[in-house]
Structure 1
Amino acid sequence: MANSSSWADLADAIDDDLADGPVKVDRKRVLRIFVPYRWWLVLLVGLIAVTSVVGIGTPFVIQAIVDDALANRALGLLVALVGALIGIAAVTAAIQVVETLIASRVGQAVMHDLRVRVYSHLQKLSLRFFTASRTGEVQSRISNDIGGVQSLVTHSATQLTSSAATVAVSAVAMFVLDWKLALFSFLALPFSIWINRRIGNLRLQVAMRQQERLADMSSLVQESLSVSGIVLSKTTGQSRSLVERFTRTSRDVARLEVRSHTAGQWEYSLVDVLIAAMPALTYLLGGILMGTGSSVTTGTLVAMIALQAALIGPLEALLLLGVEYRSSMALFARIFDYLDREVDIVEAKDPVVVAPDQVRGEIRLKGVTFRYADDLPPVLREIDLEIPAGSRVGIVGATGSGKSTLGYLLARLYDVDSGSVTIDGVDIRDLSFASLAGMLGVVTQEPYLLHASVAENLRFAKEDASDAELVAAAKIAQIHDMVAALPEGYGTVVGERGYRFSGGEKQRLTLARTLLRDPPILLLDEATSALDTRTERAITEALDTMRADRTIITIAHRLSTVRHADQIIVFDHGQIVEQGTHDDLLARNNRYAELLGADRR
């Protein structure tokens, strides 16, 4: 059990958040989520109104049973009134089934739309967003936050409408029966509403902290229980430390959960006592009124108590739903935060569409400058570079020289801060996304494979690829023989991120996946770093024979990879310091020669 000081610290943290004021959410924006289903909602509200009106007839039937049927011993009337009670119950039950079906379908449709909107928007964001965000945080927004509002969307909205309709109709019926008893019945309502708002605002802030800690926990699980995370923890002896860290985070989540459900319980208990006392006090007031010659009858008093009983449940539900609504606003705030993230890489309004077979592959960079953040120094400075169509170009340089950043810009994972990048004279910012993806194939140093079969991983690049095409691409990547020798061949599941394969095998699989599209421009970013020299040379020869006019850009740390390139570009501190063939650069005995010497040591 947690000690009292920990609970006090958590309470203080929540109080500090409250000092910042309530979470601001545009309620109209929340309501707009339901607009596509407005006619279904209109039907639902209509059905709820019918059940409320039909259900409210029960107290009046009871009044007639007491004052007319029983008092006058009218058996026929009694049978008819009892039949009316049963009929009301049957009609109400049937309509409520339809209400549940409509509410569930509409609610799940809204949840589906919200999940797809968030996921689609995240797909549009640039690499800059994902490098600054934790994977677990992103997953938490989609699963925990959107899942957290599911109850509000699928059930609470319907319950809110139903309870509000019941309260409204019950209130009218109570005033019709006797206005004095009706006013007396609502004495506790203003106090209840005040308590409800106070507790709702508190739980709103608790919900925000709760979701933040859930995101922390999701991130920790994602990072530490992935294959890479397990390898890191076991090889560094940090398993115990990670368990302790997870324990602290989980304890915070548990405390916040308790805080969320217990905040204001003493105040609620007082409201419950007042509401529970109302029927007894109504009997007392009714007796007094009947003793003074009032028009209140026994049937009226019994009907009033029945209306109060019918009112208490929906009224308490309304108060609790008000609290749940405010808590859900915290979740909507986090969801809208992602939806409001600016898409910094956008497609041109009238993009240039180029078919891959029309691409020559000439690339030019003019005055390209780029930095990852405004407060960081430029990674590339005033880069001018021309890569002829069909040429083999090597990009080399020390770690941090900017060579991989050049690859990100070519693939438009980032946009340049100044200058331009063109392919066949067209600025890549003017190309359609599909055209750029079709003309440029990228293979990175860190191969990413799906938890699927080898064939499914390859077809991720080209869904309609035939088995023959898979084999052809795998042969070029020098991986076919290994895959074919597996018991299940191309049906073998590679495991998450491909950890059932070696580093070199994964690189060859990702290369085969890219080659399956046969792009006219191929960008290899340390894509053969895990391969031996012999395999690397075989792949290079296979690429040359596959498509002679393909432009191949190889970003390499191992200089033997680019030895036979048509030209080698040497980067140093974000600038091009040398350019030429291997022999030319070696003869100059400058920066390239230094890198080559370091590579041989």
Structure 2
Amino acid sequence: MENIKWAIRRLRVYWHLILLSLLGSVLEATGTAGVSLLIKSLVDEVFLLREGEQIVKIVISLMGLVFLSQLGNFTVRLFSSLYTELEMKKLRAEAFGRLMRADYSAFMGISAGEFASRVISDMNLYRNLIGSYAIKLIREPITVLFLFGVLLYRDWVLTLSLLILLPLLAFAVRYFGTKRGKHIKKAQEGYANITDRLFSSFLGFDSIRSFKAQSMFESLFQKLNSLLFRSSFKSELYFAMNSVFNYTFGYFVVAMVILYGGYRIVEGSLTPGDFISYITALVFLQNPLMEAQKGVMEVRSSLPVIQRIREVLNLKEEEEGSLPLRSLRQGIRVEGLKVKLGNVELLKDINLSIHKGEKIGIMGDTGSGKSTFLRVLAGFVPYEGSVKVDELELKHISKEELRELFLFLSQDSFVFPGTVRENLLIAEDRDEAELWEALRLAGCDFVEDLDQQVSPKSLSGGERQRLALARLFLRSPEVLLLDEVTSALDAKKEEEVLNNLFERFKDKTMVLVAHRFSNILRCDKVFVFKEGRVVFQGEPKTAIEFFLQSP
């Protein structure tokens, strides 16, 4: 019920468009009901009494009612499409905005494929829900109501006796809707898994081919594909079963009415015109009644998707601190630092100090907590314990001001499809001379033009890293947090770039995660991480010896 309330609250802003759709439904229903009423005059006055002068009047009236019905149909489609597309535009913007403002921890453990599925596949189903399924619950019941009025007018006893069949329809809605809803939810989860598999396979295409693992990945994909097939098939199966029930039930009712009406015409208590008018209204009633029933079933079965979309829109936002931080005067002191992901401790009781202007090296095996530690200092990851920046607790510092002074750069170099200029300008708005200088310092000799198009696939790993490093030279941070940012560069190019980096930021504080000992030897002090703890801190040469000797 809460999901329905959520959707209604969102759609209230479009009340004027929904009202116009409702007006269109009234026009459509009026035209349809009018046609069924007009049938009596056509049969009794033209076909039986043969009053020729009535033919033109009835035909003109018939065309007028058809035009009115189709005008209403167009109005419904126009304004329902308008509010649907406006809502989807707004919803997509909200989802992307939430992504941009979400707390980093909200994505720890969530794959890109899962998030993409929720934004694309789930929202497409939501679009159908508000633009197709829900509109059936607006237009079809109005048509049913008008035609039901015609049936009551023609024969109220027979019409009221048909109402005893409504509980059977209600049972069908509940049964088929619940069954289909369960499998739609499984299908959406299946689409998320398929999307994730496609993402990862695309990114790992080279490795899959190199290890001749195509068959393995095809097998893994087939398992997911089979699960999705079963869920999707069962969803459509219950939809088809509901449709078969609806139409079989509808024609059974029509058959019973024909039997009843036939006896009454034979005994003279009912004119052929009245009967044909009644049966026409009943036939006209069947489609909107079944569509309304399907609309209820489709809405019921699609409600789980709303919950998944709400989870995206309710992603925890990054907590904005309030304490100002204009510059780094003293340094950073870490005491009792802990970081958890679920029940797993990524960092355990970290205690260390970093003084202003120091060049800090961080070593450790893969998974020892190095990258997590840098993300804590960058203000991305929530933590327990204390991280003081000039005696100010990190979590309470304004994120805007923190990131003006602290700059984090990952080894997973972010390059998006666009021009070199666009990729650089996410760092700082600078003129062309400064952009070219940053490219030179980062060793980006592959760039020929600032308007050159680049993408993650068009650049090598080393080129992506150098382009990402060029952004760094456009900024003047107090603290640089660098997570193996030259790992994909060859030794000569790395030496060149690091020389420029250490020269450009010689007075700045730098925390450098690296595996290459040549990088570590450039630092003033080194911390060695192991299984989420700092197990050694000291001079570079001693730290390297400790690292090599440790089990």
Q: Which moved more, 1:413-422 or 1:304-313?
A: 413-422
Which of 263, 270, 292 does residue 318 from structure 1 map onto? 292
Name the structure 2 match of 1:369: 337
Query: 1:273/1:231 Cα in 2 relative to 1: closer, same or farther (>3 Å)?
Result: same
Deviations 1:24-62 (A, max 9, x none): 763212222212212221222122123213431222222
Name the structure 2 match of 1:241: 216
- Return the alpha-carbon distance in structure 1 between the equivalents of residues 242 and 533 of structure 2: 68
Paired residues for 1:54-453 under 5 Å: 54-68=31-45, 73-186=50-163, 188-226=165-203, 229-263=204-238, 265=240, 268-292=243-267, 294=269, 296-343=270-317, 345-348=318-321, 351-352=322-323, 358-360=326-328, 362-377=330-345, 379-388=347-356, 390-422=357-389, 424-453=390-419
Equivalent pair of 1:188/1:275 in contact (CA under 8 Å): no
Q: Quote the offset at 1:103 in angstroms.
A: 0.8
Q: Quote the offset at 1:597 in angstroms.
A: 7.9
Equivalent pair of 1:380/1:402 in contact (CA under 8 Å): no
Q: Quote the offset at 1:495 in angstroms.
A: 3.5
Name the structure 2 match of 1:460: 426
Name the structure 1 match of 2:459: 500
Amino acid at match of 1:394: G
SS in 1 for 2:227: helix
Deviations 1:213-242 (A, max 9, x none): 22221111111122xx11221222210111
- Return the alpha-carbon distance in structure 2 between the equivalents of residues 173 and 432 of structure 1: 68
Amino acid at match of 1:88: L
Query: 1:267/1:473 Cα in 2 relative to 1: closer, same or farther (>3 Å)?
Result: closer
- In the superposition, the TM-score normalised over structure 2's length comes to 0.90
Equivalent pair of 1:421/1:428 in contact (CA under 8 Å): yes
Q: Quote the offset at 1:69 in angstroms.
A: 5.5
Amino acid at match of 2:276: V
Q: Quote the offset at 1:72 in angstroms.
A: 5.1
Deviations 1:325-352 (A, max 9, x none): 1221122232233334444x4113xx34
SS in 2 for 1:26: helix
Instruction: Tell me the number of residue pairs that the alignment of Structure 1 and Structure 2 aligns.
Output: 550
Query: 1:194/1:403 Cα in 2 relative to 1: closer, same or farther (>3 Å)?
Result: closer
Deviations 1:408-437 (A, max 9, x none): 111112022121342x44433233333222
- Return the alpha-carbon distance in structure 1 between the equivalents of residues 297 and 533 of structure 2: 58
Name the structure 2 match of 1:473: 438
Q: Quote the offset at 1:471 in angstroms.
A: 0.6
Deviations 1:64-101 (A, max 9, x none): 33334665554444422321211111122223222211
Equivalent pair of 1:395/1:568 in contact (CA under 8 Å): yes
Name the structure 2 match of 1:8: none
Deviations 1:243-300 (A, max 9, x none): 1222232233223322212227556535423321333432331233345553x32221
- Return the alpha-carbon distance in structure 2 between the equivalents of residues 595 and 382 of structure 1: 18
Gap regions ≥5 residues in structure 1? 1-23
- Return the alpha-carbon distance in structure 2 between the equivalents of residues 530 and 269 of structure 1: 61
- Return the alpha-carbon distance in structure 2 between the equivalents of residues 319 and 364 of structure 1: 65
Q: Which moved more, 1:95-104 or 1:446-455?
A: 446-455
Equivalent pair of 1:353/1:432 in contact (CA under 8 Å): yes
Q: Quote the offset at 1:565 in angstroms.
A: 3.3
How high is the sequence identity, in percent, across the aligned residues? 25
Amino acid at match of 1:595: F
Equivalent pair of 1:110/1:153 in contact (CA under 8 Å): no
Q: Which moved more, 1:195-204 or 1:360-369?
A: 360-369
Query: 1:551/1:79 Cα in 2 relative to 1: closer, same or farther (>3 Å)?
Result: same
Amino acid at match of 1:40: L
Measured on the aligned residues, the alpha-carbon RMSD in Å equals 2.8
Query: 1:224/1:523 Cα in 2 relative to 1: closer, same or farther (>3 Å)?
Result: same
- Return the alpha-carbon distance in structure 1 between the equivalents of residues 186 and 328 of structure 2: 54
- Would you say 1:530 and 2:496 are equivalent positions? no
Gap regions ≥5 residues in structure 2? none
Q: Quote the offset at 1:515 in angstroms.
A: 2.3
- Would you say 1:550 and 2:494 are equivalent positions? no
SS in 1 for 2:278: helix
- Return the alpha-carbon distance in structure 2 between the equivalents of residues 450 and 213 of structure 1: 28
Equivalent pair of 1:396/1:559 in contact (CA under 8 Å): no
Q: Which moved more, 1:202-211 or 1:562-571?
A: 562-571
- Return the alpha-carbon distance in structure 2 between the equivalents of residues 64 and 521 of structure 1: 88
Equivalent pair of 1:442/1:514 in contact (CA under 8 Å): no
SS in 2 for 1:371: strand
- Return the alpha-carbon distance in structure 1 between the equivalents of residues 369 and 242 of structure 2: 62
Q: Quote the offset at 1:104 in angstroms.
A: 0.7
Q: Quote the offset at 1:194 in angstroms.
A: 1.5
Equivalent pair of 1:392/1:552 in contact (CA under 8 Å): yes
Query: 1:281/1:376 Cα in 2 relative to 1: closer, same or farther (>3 Å)?
Result: closer
- Return the alpha-carbon distance in structure 2 between the equivalents of residues 517 and 553 of structure 1: 16
- Return the alpha-carbon distance in structure 1 between the equivalents of residues 261 and 364 of structure 2: 93
Deviations 1:372-420 (A, max 9, x none): 33523452414241321x4433334454543332211111120221213
